[in-house]
A and B are shown apart, each in its own frame.
Chain A
Amino acid sequence: MNDSERKAAGIGLAAVLTAGAAAAALAMARRKREAAHGSPDSAPGRTARRNFGDYDVEGRSVTIARPRQELFEFWRDFQNLPTFMENIESVEHTGPKRTLWRIKAPGDLTVDVETEIAREIEGELIAWRSVPGSDIDTKGRVEFRDAPGERGTRVTAIVAYDPPGGAIGKAIAKMFMREPAIQMRHDLKRFKMLMETGEIATSARRRDATRAAKQEEQTRHHEKEEA
């Protein structure tokens, strides 16, 4: 892995780390817009051309030609997340509503984040947040709504991230600020591919050249280091 690839992999951290105070930040953004412009337009607050105060909030929607319940159930099993979220190396259950996410960080490091389900509406919404004492403070949610007619399901993921303190934290945050949207878009598109086609497209010619293979290699590398 060269430097630019490492950086690219590290960017992955952002998508999940950016989870944090999503609803609050969005509401805040909406209030700000209303104050500044009178009545708001119909667009989601996260698309506003403004900053969200102290928060980095990213949200993306994708339409998937599969039933809502099926998509909900796949996502709800957080151990499925590493199959389409590039930056999550592994997910382990630590309690009935708790999971430990191992997330890739820059410099070939990983960060552990223990999350708990904060809110759940069967077939419609999953919200999670990091528990106190995690390396990173993060919150996020994913919503599933029926798309018009026969078009399947609209999936919207929103993650927000309150940058950690300290010079290093700020530097990392700064690096993340630009990229979470890209990572989230990629993750959602991979989710769509997996659910619609049963696989994630790759133009590699050899198995060892796929991104998934490179990811597994990195995971093995980490496991070896720990052993």
Chain B
Amino acid sequence: MRALTWHGKHDVRVDTVDDPEIINPRDAIIKVTSTAICGSDLHLYDGVIPGMKSGDILGHEFMGEVVETGPKSSLTKGQRVVVPFTISCGACFFCEQHQYSACSNSNPVEKQDLAAPVYGHAMAGLFGYSHMTGGYSGGQAEYVRVPFSDIGPVVIPDGMDDEDVLFLSDILPTGWMAALNAEIQPDDTVAVWGCGPVGLFAVQSALHMGAARVIAIDHWPHRLELARGLGADVINFRETDVREALMEMSGGLGVDAVIDAVGMEAHGFAIDNMLDTVKQKVGIGADRASALRQALLAVRRGGRVSIPGVYGGLADKFPLGALMEKGLSLRTGQTHVQAYTAELLELIQQGKLDTTFLISHRLPLEDAPRGYQCFHDNQDEWTKVILKPGMKMAA
């Protein structure tokens, strides 16, 4: 089959590789019809996530048709499914509590040794996201082996387009969980840092959950326009002093809840790596670390802090004092996708959530390397790239 493979920093290629096979009883094989490039794939593209091997297949947002099932799969051939990026067994202590991204049993035993020393415990297996999260082949490919296919995949009713439901795989539940973690109350003013896809879905989710006002913060004009289109107020941090603006916009109280949907590219998994990265990228690193710092200072006393943004290492100058003295509560984590897909599918069907507004480009899988490059280099225009394995290359 054809698949987008990683070979090093800024080096991804579409290669011909072996097709996947059913290995375990609960497996299914999915023929991919649509897959997306995630903002977090750019961390892999930039080579800042350790545990990558040359030839690894990327992609953790995908959907397609079931073409083969193991004896214990609950799926049947021909079904259309969206596959959560978190691989979860459904049977362990964590899955029982719907903490699917903490699944004990999906990250292969020998791979768990990579993350355990850094985090104390290994997390769940993820598709296409380094060997720290299992080394699973990802979804930017023609076919994918999906383990625990009786727990994850969401069967899609006839009549719904791929683009209506594809983002159930990651970014929609991630934005949704970010808003849930912010524990939004009806009169709240909520500030969201970062208008990438997760930030935009967090904005939409917060408004859906009844926030009185959502303020979206970014510096890309087009992305701010998308947020405005959802009903948010916006702040361009290149033009405006964010903290002062937020204080004024919340009547001097400070915002009730803050959501950091930026994450930190300046992350590393060892202290020296972390410090080096920060030293090397003073400009970018400081900018990105500052989003969370700014959020912790902007949130009101007793406010809520939600962090969907990806962090992997250690934070420098983390305002621990603000967290304690103001009595903030903080919630974060990789998304427990399986906990939210049923409810979100229903909201999409009812027309209460729009998932298609942020799609900017649709490319053939063969053109994926260009998709990565443009998504990386031109974030203002390239807001979301969908890859179609069957699509013909433009002449």
The interface stretch among A36-44, A100-108, A185-193 is A185-193
Is B113 positioned at the interface, with any CB of A under 8 Å from its CB?
yes
The interface stretch among A23-31, A127-135, A160-168, A203-211 is A203-211
Find residues 192-227 in chain A having any chain B CB closer than 8 Å to their own CB: 192-193, 196-207, 210-211
Find residues 27-58 in chain A having any chain B CB closer than 8 Å to their own CB: none
Given contacts A201-B109, A201-B147, contact A196 B134 (CB under 8 A): no
Chain B residues in 8 Å Cβ range of A211: 110
Chain A: which residue is nearest B26 at the CB level? A199
Is A65 positioned at the interface, with any CB of B under 8 Å from its CB?
yes
**Number of chain A residues whose Cβ lies closer than 8 Å to a Cβ of chain B:** 24
Partner of B96, one of A63, A65, A192, A197: A65
Interface pair B105/A192, CB less than 8 Å apart: yes
**Number of chain B residues whose Cβ lies closer than 8 Å to a Cβ of chain A:** 34
Is A170 positioned at the interface, with any CB of B under 8 Å from its CB?
no
User: How far, in whole Å, are A207 and B108 apart by their CA atoms in the complex?
Assistant: 15
- Main secondary structure, interface of A, reads loop
Per-position contact with B for A54-96: 1 when CB-CB < 8 Å, else 0?
A: 0000000001010000000000000000000000000000000
Chain A residues in 8 Å Cβ range of B24: 199-202
Interface pair B26/A201, CB less than 8 Å apart: no
Chain B: which residue is nearest A201 at the CB level? B108
Interface pair A203/B108, CB less than 8 Å apart: yes
Is A182 positioned at the interface, with any CB of B under 8 Å from its CB?
yes
Expressed in whole angstroms, the minimum distance between the Cβ of A56 and any Cβ of chain B is 20
Is A151 positioned at the interface, with any CB of B under 8 Å from its CB?
yes
Given contacts A65-B92, A199-B26, contact A205 B108 (CB under 8 A): no
Is B148 positioned at the interface, with any CB of A under 8 Å from its CB?
yes
Expressed in whole angstroms, the minimum distance between the Cβ of B142 and any Cβ of chain A is 12
Interface pair A203/B111, CB less than 8 Å apart: yes
Chain A residues in 8 Å Cβ range of B109: 186, 189-190, 193, 200-201
Given contacts A65-B93, A199-B24, A199-B26, contact A206 B18 (CB under 8 A): yes
Is B64 positioned at the interface, with any CB of A under 8 Å from its CB?
no
Is B137 positioned at the interface, with any CB of A under 8 Å from its CB?
yes
Partner of A206, one of B20, B106, B148: B20
Chain B residues in 8 Å Cβ range of A196: 89, 91-92, 104-105
Given contacts A203-B134, A203-B135, contact A189 B21 (CB under 8 A): no
Given contacts A65-B91, A205-B20, A211-B110, contact A192 B136 (CB under 8 A): no
Find residues 99-128 in chain B having any chain A CB closer than 8 Å to their own CB: 104-113, 125
User: How far, in whole Å, are A204 and B105 apart by their CA atoms in the complex?
Assistant: 15
Find residues 305-329 in chain B having any chain A CB closer than 8 Å to their own CB: none
Given contacts A203-B134, A206-B18, contact A197 B111 (CB under 8 A): no
